Amino acid sequence: MADSASGNKSASGAAAPSNFIRHMIGEDLANKKHAGRVHTRFPPEPNGYLHIGHAKSICLNFSLAEEYNGRCNLRFDDTNPAKESQEFVDSIKDNIKWLGFDWHGEVRYSSNYFDHLYDFAVQLIESGKAYVCSLSPDQAREYRGTLTEPGTNSPDRDQTIKENLDLFKRMRDGEFDEGAYSLRAKIDMASPNINMRDPVLYRIRHIQHHQTGDKWCIYPTYDYTHCISDAIEGITHSLCTLEFEDHRPLYDWILHNLDIDSLRVVSDLADSEADYVLPQQTEFAKLKINYTVMGKRKLREMVESGIVDGWDDPRMPTLAGMRRRGFTPASLRNFCESVGVARSESVVDMGMLEHAIRDDLDKNAPRAMCVLNPLKVVLTTFAEDYRAELTMSAHPKDESLGQRVVPLTREIYIDKSDFEEVPPPGFKRLISGGEVRLRGAYVIRCDEVVKDDSGEIVQLNCSVDENTLGKSPEGRKVKGVIHWVSASEGVPATVRLYDRLFNEEKPEAKDVDYHNCLNPESLIKLENCIVEPSVIGNDAGNFQFEREGYFCFDSIDSSDARPVFNRTITLRDSWSN
RNA sequence: UGGGGUGUCGCCAAGUGGUAAGGCACAAGGUUUUGAUCCUUGCAUGCGUUGGUUCGAAUCCAGCCACCCCAGCCA
């Protein structure tokens, strides 16, 4: 027996949040509407790269299927070959697998159903529900009417079935130019819902299709294709975003005006004993996040104009970009679950996404030290050839992540920002004559500040309290702890600091031009960083560089000889100065 | 000015007539060899608004206001 919505468990084991879709499925199950089946689908058009907004839909569809012991198909909605390509098909499949989901059976394509779709179109013509129209696209627009005025019937609307059949066949056979004819549903040109004013079902396009080659020169439209594809695949719950709400009457009209037995026999449920029940479209609000853009057109434009370095630029909200940035699949899935599913259009705070990745990485990323802006420190009380190997745990709370060995030598680097000659109030790092703890090592005291001719600090000479390894110094307390790396054994590295791409909270707002609110500091490259040697060759995907943030090797530019790190996200910083 | 939607804390979001969950953010404490993590506490007499029904309304009814979507042979 299917359990109630509140009893379901998410992948993480926590109770899945209540939402209107789970309620609906719960009711459908209670009413045995689909004989207890839950079958969803993720239906991307392969005309671009997937972004975090798609992840919400992917998580929703696949998780629902998992929770209810159902299935989820991957179906490419490939009805517009002019905009689609195999490259996008491949990247989408790759992204979904990376996110951790597995579709049911083979990958589907709407184009798999082109033959059936054609037959159903003939059926609609034969039953007087569709006709071939000779209006040009421009004329069709005029005949459609406006939001407040009804449309006008096409002069071809009352053509005989015989004429329509003949014309439609000749459309398929390539006798006509693009735009010369279209197949339209015969519904109601006066409908207040413009989608119902005799919508186009088929249009002529003399172009190759990435899956069907040159087999067709007429292609079905989204509205006509989607509902039938759902019906063929035995989809029970067809989830889509809010802008398709006005299309639902058309979705239902097409399915209800087709012979249900002929639908059933070509469907995946052809051999099923159960009643054949038509799929139900349900809409939810798409994901929006502040300080970023989600529009495909804008993302493409940013790639093509060079604002970013490609679809997988770590600043992009694409799954490819976020992956390269260091986001983990689990963090994205948790994020999608935490934002919920509802029908009100909302803009989620970027802070939610940041919390999701910090939460995951804090638990799972091994720790290491990396100095971003090096300042040389000479530990004067050590001998010239001093060298020690300090063993530190890779994680402060999780021993299962093991330990690492960190070399300590007479000369080390610390970060420039961890020393101040004139410290602000509350500063608890190193100051002249003051003490600080070297993380995992000794307490040192700054005895001398060395400057160059221009007055810039180039070196600190410090003495070491050798009685402070693993214990507090006697008679005083040292509050500050700073990270460091051996000057001779640290590894030179490049670190790329990423930040939000936009300074404006809503760069997609109608009165905003996103070009004017680009964050000039969305990428800062640091070429003189020094990283602890334990990370070299370490195949952990992500690290926490202590006191700095979470970083990962750049999948493209990094090598053992010259490691390149991307900063995924900073640590939270409650110290305001 | 046609049709379809949505309005619950700064941001998400539960709630389906019985007296406002949770998360993020924020604030204040505590622990801490990461100014991290973790822990504790605080954070809507209020649910767009105005009326109505009811013993009782975020939940039901009516009006009003605001915002979003639709006039591709795009999806």
Give A540 CA → B21 C1' in Å. Answer: 38
The pTM score is 0.96
Å between CA of A340 and C1' of B52: 34
A348 CA to B22 C1' distance (Å): 16
Task: Measure the CA–CA gap between A387 and A385, rounded to whole angstroms.
Answer: 6
**Residue A456 burial (CB count, 10 A):** 8
CATH number of this structure's domain A296-367+493-569, picked from the four choices 1.10.1160.10, 3.40.710.10, 2.40.30.20, 1.10.287.90: 1.10.1160.10
Evaluate if residue A112 carries a pLDDT over 70: yes
Q: Work out if A136's Cβ lies within 7 angstroms of strand B.
A: yes
User: Which of A's residues 279-338 have CB atoms within 7 A of nucleic strand B?
Assistant: 285, 338
Residues 197-216 of A with CB under 7 A from strand B: 199-200, 203-204
Name the residues in A224-263 having a C-beta closer than 7 Å to nucleic acid strand B: 226, 242-247
Evaluate if residue A10 carries a pLDDT over 90. no
pLDDT for the residue numbered A3 = 34
Give the domain A373-488 fold. Ribosomal Protein L25; Chain P (2.40.240)
pLDDT in tens, A345-367: 999 999 999 999 999 999 999 99
User: Tokens in use for A138?
Assistant: 């421009």
Which residues 9-48 on A are within 7 A of strand B at the CB atom?
17-20, 23, 43, 45
Q: Which residue has the least CA–C1' distance to nucleotide B14?
A: A18
Residue A511: predicted pLDDT: 85
Cβ of A395 less than 7 A from strand B: yes
**Any atom of strand B under 7 A from CB of A191?**
no
Residue A505 (CA) to nucleotide B62 (C1'), in angstroms, measures 38
Question: What architecture (CATH level 2) is domain A17-286?
Answer: 3-Layer(aba) Sandwich (3.40)
**CA-to-C1' span, A348 to B44 (A):** 20
pLDDT digits (tens, 9 = 90+) for A250-262: 999 999 999 999 9
**Do A267 and A279 touch, CB atoms closer than 8 A?**
no
Residue A54 Cβ < 7 Å to strand B: no
Tell me the percentage of chain A whose pLDDT exceeds 90.
Answer: 94
Give me the DSSP letters along A215-243.
S-SEEE-HHHHHHHHHHHHT-SEEEEEGG
Through-space separation of residue A196 CA and nucleotide B2 C1' in angstroms: 13
**Strand B nucleotides with an atom less than 7 Å from a protein beta carbon:** 1-8, 10-16, 21-27, 33-38, 67-75
- Give dist(CA A127, CA A259) in Å, integer: 10
- A339 CA to B37 C1' distance (Å): 23
| Integer Cα distance of A555 and A327 in angstroms | 13
Nucleotide nearest to A82 (CA to C1'): B74
- Measure A279 CA to B59 C1' (Å): 30
* Mean pLDDT within A567-573: 98
Q: How many CB atoms are closer than 10 A to CB A389?
A: 9
Over residues A113-134, the pLDDT tens digits come to 999 999 999 999 999 999 999 9
| Confidence category of residue A577, pLDDT binned at 50, 70, 90 | low
A 58-97, residues with C-beta < 7 Å of strand B? 77, 79-80, 83
How confident is residue A16, by pLDDT bands cut at 50, 70 and 90? Answer: confident
Helices and strands in chain A, H and E counts: 13, 27
Those residues with Cβ within 8 angstroms of residue A318's Cβ, 6 or more apart along the chain or in another chain: A49, A50, A51, A52, A299, A311, A312
Q: Which nucleotide is nearest to A572 (CA to C1')?
A: B36
CB of A512 nearer than 7 A to strand B: no
Nearest nucleotide to A197 (CA to C1') is B71
In this prediction, residues A269-298 reach a mean pLDDT of 95
Whether pLDDT at A7 is above 70: no
Give the pLDDT of residue A11. 45
Closest C1' nucleotide to A428's CA: B35
Residue-wise burial string across A349-359, b where 16 or more C-beta atoms lie within 10 A, e elsewhere: eeeebbbbbbe
> Alpha-carbon distance A269 to A114, whole Å?
19
The arithmetic mean of pLDDT across residues A41-56, rounded, is 98
Q: Map out the domains of chain A as residue ranges.
A: 17-286, 296-367+493-569, 373-488
